[in-house]
A and B are shown apart, each in its own frame.
Chain A
Amino acid sequence: MNGIIFDIKEMAVHDGPGIRTTVFFKGCPLRCQWCHNPEGLSFKPQLMYKSKNCLGCDKCKQHCDHPECQPFKRCVHICPENCLSIAGRTVTAKDLAKEIIPSADVLGKDFGGFTFSGGEPLAQSEFLLELTDELKNFHLCMETSGYCDSEIFNKVIEKLDFVIMDIKLADNDLHKKYTGVGNEKILRNFEDLKQSGKPFVIRTPLISGITDTKDNLSKIQNIVGDSAWEKLPENNAAGAKYKMLRVE
């Protein structure tokens, strides 16, 4: 089964217990206005352009034969300053597992496990399930919006050791306004998560004026109850990656 990912990060520090390797799945059904991984939104490969080092030599505009370059009408291999790259590559679960398992070997007992993030891992659930099988000897964690059909959600969490799930907005209308989707599925999946017995933590990104309102936070507190809940401060580095995705 093929999947599309846009990054693999070694030594992820805030993505679960221990020193972990995090795989970032490309594509997400949500469109949160504050998303700090914009290259994770579309399911398709995208051209990323770092304008800072651009010499204006236009070598990238010359014709090339690389299949991966054709959709963008730019050659990503020719830039002397490495300004161009493609976010998103297709990979089989088996090949991806082969690629990331060595980092576990290096760390031995200090290896915490693998985390699936993105983008939205649940949006490529078949690929994700195959991957969890390939990695079944390791501690597995998922960072997710929780937005998917109930059946898929339960199938996936059954394979995991830890779940980090966002609850961003308690009010359905506000949720739709700021993320593009309602939160019914998310809240229902949260109930199943609680029932599953799987260890988890709920996360709420604190977005100024949107999610950090007293009203929203107290409503989420009611939803979460006694369960583990983290409020995350805003990520200011998001802006730069948005610029990289726009190519003149």
Chain B
Amino acid sequence: MSAPPPPGPHLGDRLSALVDAELDPAGEAAARSHLAACDACAGELASTARVRELVRGLPAVEPPSPLDQARTGRRAGVAGVAAAVAAAVALVLMAGVNADRPDNPPVARLVEVHATSVVNADPLSQLAPAAVPVSMR
């Protein structure tokens, strides 16, 4: 005699919600009940959790040092000012990684100066307030 079909339809994207703890208690109970009786979904749960762990395990990323950039060169077409700001930002970020360095304030001031010049030079920088989410539709 064959086993009864698993309760409810296959879980689909509820599997991701389950591993992300985004299901409410009723939804989680229903999902676990289905998983107990469905090999296909149990297998998809395992591989979903696996790929989630791969992305979650990715290391933090450091910007390349300004010396590396000078050696390899930035891609063509980047405005000189923007490149200078980007390099300064990279210095600020590197200083943030080594927060105990005493030279932070002068670096931050460098970014301040360049950032101001970029903002004034680019009318497109009059952007919408940060709190307004951009609609995808």
Q: Do A and B bind each other?
A: no
Q: Report which B residues bind A (CB closer than 8 A).
A: none
Q: Report which A residues bind B (CB closer than 8 A).
A: none
